[in-house]
Amino acid sequence: MNLGLKEKVIIVSGGAKGIGEGISNSLATEGAYVAIVGRNHEDNQKAIDKIQATGGQAWSFVAELSDPKECENAVNEVVKMFGRIDGLVNNAGVNDGINLENGSYEGFMKSLHSNLIHYYLLAHHALPYLKKSQGPIVNIGSKVADTGQGGTSAYAAANGGRNALTREWAVELLKYGIRVNAVIVAECYTPLYDKWIKTLPNPEETLAKIYDKIPLGKRMTTPEEIADMVVFLLSKRSSHTTGQIIYVDGGYTHLDRALI
């Protein structure tokens, strides 16, 4: 489907791995110019090489997003190269296990910088250019904001903040014609998820139990399924959709798994 994103400059934070890589790939397939922002140039370049091998176009912008100054610099570098920004995907983050019982103030604040503060900063610095292009914003979030998980206070708080910012920005930016939406992830198999599951005593058994709790199809959501929703929300095909928090999760968050 032609979503009208050809040669649109879209920033994707954390766009080199996992869900972010899926988003970058989907955007490139639509002909967008993908600005991958992440801390590791080698990771960024690997994702770019894959995109270029299939005829897409992407560029690397190295930034440690927990550093406010590097967030600003990344946006400035994108503008320096392209002269505009046509959309922003806030995606970077990590479920880092900063909990209530054994956590610390320092760890909690560091996690917020890694998972929430850069969402605000990238949007803040990109906003003058998004106003000119009426470019949309899509925030990637997690079901832990709704369900909790246990042992991940900071990540849960960050995702609650992502949802709140989505609705707040949708209101604030109405006057500029800028749409803001969120896509919520529940169980999505990524390299990071694979790394985590393999640290457990019985990974295959645990994985089977997780699959059984996912109502639609008893399977995990793929990064490509997340990406397709994100790309749709960036396109004019979703031109009257804003302030929405959309769950691409096979019904995991809201359907009663005990009855399925």
The catalytic residue positions are 155
Q: Look at residues 213, 223, 222, 216 and name the one whose alpha carbon lies nearest to residue 257.
A: 213
Which residues contact residue 124 at a Cβ distance below 8 angstroms, ignoring those fewer than 6 apart? none
Q: Which residues pair with 89 in a beta bridge?
A: 12, 138
CA separation for the pair 92, 85 (Å, rounded): 18
Distance CA 57, CA 50 (A): 10
CA-based nearest residue to 238, from 12, 31, 4: 4
Q: How far apart are CA 61 and CA 79, in angstroms?
A: 11
Identify residue 77 by its one-letter amino acid code.
E
Contact 61, 104 (CB under 8 A): no
The token duo for 193 is: 């998820």
